[in-house]
Structure 1
Amino acid sequence: MDVSVPRLSVVVPVFNEEDVLPLFAERMRPVLDGLGVTYEVLTVDDGSRDATPVVLEGLRRQWPQLRVVRLRRNSGHQNALTAGLHRARGQYVVSIDVDLQDPPETIGEMLRLAEGAGLDVVHGVRADRSTDSPFKRWTAGMYYRMIRRVVGQNVPHNAGDFRLLSRNAVDALTGLPEHQPVHRLLVPWLGLPSGEVTYTRERRAAGRSKYPLGKMIRLALDSVTGFSAAPLRVATWLGTAGIALCLLIGGGALAAYLWGTVVPGWTSMVVAVMFVGALQLLCLGLLGEYVARIFTTLQGRPPYVVTFDSATPGRPLMETAGNGGAAWKL
């Protein structure tokens, strides 16, 4: 592979994608070859347990611009994306998923917009999600409405991890000491000059989604707890509302006692106890999310560990942990 700095890097997180990888290469390569710029495609194998590593090696022999970075274990989509951004060498860096739901043909439009308008960030915005299931569209709509309300209106609606970043934006992003990064929120937070390119979201080319309901919930929790203290304030207001309700119930019980109309209060007692208990558990759960983030930060462990990079075969790897300068040599 040419060791000179390419004009464009394309970062592609990959996890158990043996079925879709040949389709991805077949569609992506003509698009990038047609741009007329030097490029590299940096695939980050996030600890795949199927034949993905074998397929990647086969594709790399046929496609000189394909670069393979392998993580020692599954670290999650956002951390795999972070690993790719840290190692990408291009003057512009595009992040895209391998499932071909985000069309590679849009990359050229992103690059032209960034170069022509002098932008550091170009977001890929999904203008049509009709290929997604109704449940997926509903949960995505809830997520973006919640995030824009909690984090701010600068977060583009329906913009995922398909975007183009300038070298300036990549350096600023990778310099942040994030342990649980959510790039779709971190990038707007940088406040760099940005634009948007709309596209129609397509169906997955092959294989199964790697973002089931559990991972979507985890992403939503990381998004909220990593960018806002609003949940803590919600816990405070819920506690205040619970106290007010208990005072009302206590006042009603005292009035009934004074008027001599006391009746057995089993139902009201049970409802009150359950309500207060639910509030306490909810508040403890919200506090626990923040304590868990503090605990993870204090541990100082790297969010990912790179075990192989085809750009530096046979050489020891030195990987920054992204937590303030700690390094791991494998």
Structure 2
Amino acid sequence: MRVELSVVVPMFNEEAVLPLFVERLRPVLDRIGATYEVVAVDDGSGDLTAATLQRMKRTWPELRVLRLRTNSGHQAAISAGLVAARGDWMVTIDADLQDPPEVIAEMLDVGRRERVDVIYGVRTDRSTDTAFKRGTAKLFYRTMRRISGVDAPVDAGDFRMMSRATVDAVNALPSHGRVIRLVVPTLGFPSASVGYRRDERAAGSSKYPLGKMLRLTLDSITGFSQAPLRFATWFGLSGFVLAFAMLVLAVVRKLEGDAVSGWPSTVVIVAGFAGLQLLCLGILGEYVGRIHASLQGRPTYYVAYDSLIADQGGRSGPTSGEALLPSETATRHPSAEF
């Protein structure tokens, strides 16, 4: 069945906020004037998120439950939802209500009116975030713009609307370790933006602690830029030049009759260069690790259950999260159909 709008919602231990989220999302979608589905991706939650979704589905036929076998991560859950979704337009939004569902209607209107492929949700007011969160977010986007050339909108997270053609292009890319918020801008498809105020989390706790934020940053840098490799190369070249200059200086002083002394300074220099070497090896190791993981071809996620398939009497799982080939996906532009 043709669906005009798919709303992909990754969830991990969101039992507390789910009723509030559905209470705000459903009226928005019912009034939007388009056929829709909500693809709720349970990312291996350990609470009653899955059971709550199944209970809600009894009274909300447009709700589709996709359950991953293990916790695969936020970006993997979004990828799973994008592969499964059937809409001509697709929205990705978190369930914590920091991104208001009411903006979805405005996004759809902008997409239809301006005939663009991507509509970014841009946080124009982040006063509810901590100063540390705001500062690190700005640093992240500015750094990625500088070292990778990716023109990612500042203060735009994973709340966006994409056309069918955009999602097909994303699904066709290798899925290992990809960061959707940077993958989409690299496609260069026509885009627009909608501003909104970022609210506080409605209930529950953040699923993005500092450790996961650092992991996302590292995946972003190594996945979209060769600058760290060049950084290691320049460090090595600079170290070679400095070492050669010190060697020449030591020889000259020896010929002049001056004794070469200064064991502490020697130890400091050796230790410093050893540290630089380890840093460069670590940078190279990150890239080699990504190549190794890509060659292994292990799926990023496993789908254990899909309520749509189960309702149709089919086998609902498990399936692996492999990206679709371009020949297996539609490439029509949805804005031409409205």
Normalised-by-shorter TM-score class:
over 0.9
**Letter in structure 1 aligned against 2:154:** H
| Structure-1 separation of matches of 2:274 and 2:19 | 53
Alignment partners' CA distance in 1, 2:286 and 2:5 = 38
For the 8 Å contact 2:65–2:306, the answer to whether it is kept is yes
2:79 maps to 1:82? yes
Q: List aligned pairs for 1:130-209, cutoff 5 A.
A: 130-152=127-149, 154-209=151-206
Does structure 1 retain, via aligned residues, the 8 Å contact 2:119–2:194?
A: yes
The letter of the residue matching 2:180 is: H
Which consecutive unaligned segments of at least 5 residues does structure 2 have? Answer: 326-338
Shift of 1:133: 0.8
* Alignment match, 1:315: 314
Query: How big is each residue's C-alpha offset from its partner over 1:172-201, in whole Å with a ceiling of 9 and x where there is no partner?
Result: 111112311111111111111111111111
User: What is the distance in 1 between the residues matched to 2:29 and 2:215?
Assistant: 34
Structure 1 Cα separation of the partners of residues 101 and 85 of structure 2: 18
Matched residue, 1:239: 236
| 1:214 lines up with 2:216 in the alignment | no
Could you tell me whether the CA contact under 8 Å between 1:302 and 1:323 is conserved in 2?
no
Task: Report deviation, 1:59.
Answer: 1.6
For residues 128-160 of structure 1, the C-alpha deviation after alignment (integer angstroms, 9 at most, x for no partner) is 211111111111111101111122152111111
- Which amino acid in the other structure matches residue 217 of structure 1? L
Do 1:177 and 1:324's aligned partners in 2 also have CA atoms closer than 8 Å? no
Identity of aligned residues (%): 56
Q: CA distance change for structure 1 residues 170 and 234 in 2, over 3 Å: closer, same or farther?
A: same
SS in structure 1 at match of 2:8: strand
Q: CA-to-partner distance for each residue in 1:290-315, whole Å, 9 max, x for gaps?
A: 11111111111111110101111152
TM-score (normalised: structure 1): 0.93
- Residue 257 of structure 1 and its aligned partner are, at CA, apart by 3.0
Preserved CA contact (<8 Å) 1:127 1:198: yes
Bigger CA drift: 7-16 or 147-156?
A: 147-156
Matched, 1:43 2:31: no
Task: Decide whether the 8 Å contact of 1:246 with 1:272 is kept in 2.
Answer: no
Matches of 2:103 and 2:259, distance apart in 1? 72
CA distance in 2, matches of 1:26, 1:143: 33
CA drift at 1:248: 3.1
Distance 1:288 1:299 in 2: 16
Give the letter for the 1:90 counterpart. G
Distance 1:190 1:174 in 2: 12
Q: Distance in 2 between matches of 1:318 and 1:73?
A: 11
- Provide the TM-score with structure 2 as the length reference: 0.91
1:10-47 deviations in Å (ceiling 9; x for gaps):
00000011111111111111111121211111100000
| CA positional deviation for 1:263 | 5.8
Q: How does 1:1-330 map to 2 (within 5 A)?
A: 4-152=1-149, 154-262=151-259, 264-313=261-310, 314-316=313-315, 317=317, 319=319, 321-322=321-322
| Distance across 2 between alignment mates of 1:9 and 1:169 | 13
Structure 1 residue 264: deviation in Å? 3.4
- Aligned AA for 2:212? K
1:328 corresponds to which residue?
none
Moved more, 77-86 or 25-34: 25-34
Unmatched 5+ stretches in structure 1: 326-330
CA distance in 2, matches of 1:61, 1:266: 77
1:205 alignment partner AA:
A
Q: Which deviates more from structure 2 when the two are superposed, residues 49-58 or residues 114-123? A: 49-58
* Larger deviation, residues 153-162 vs 112-121: 153-162
Distance 2:20 2:111 in 1: 28
CA distance in 2: counterparts of 1:100 and 1:262, whole angstroms: 71
SS in 1 for 2:87: coil
Distance in 2 (alpha carbons) for counterparts of 1:306 and 1:161:
21
Report the CA distance between 1:51 and its aligned residue: 1.4
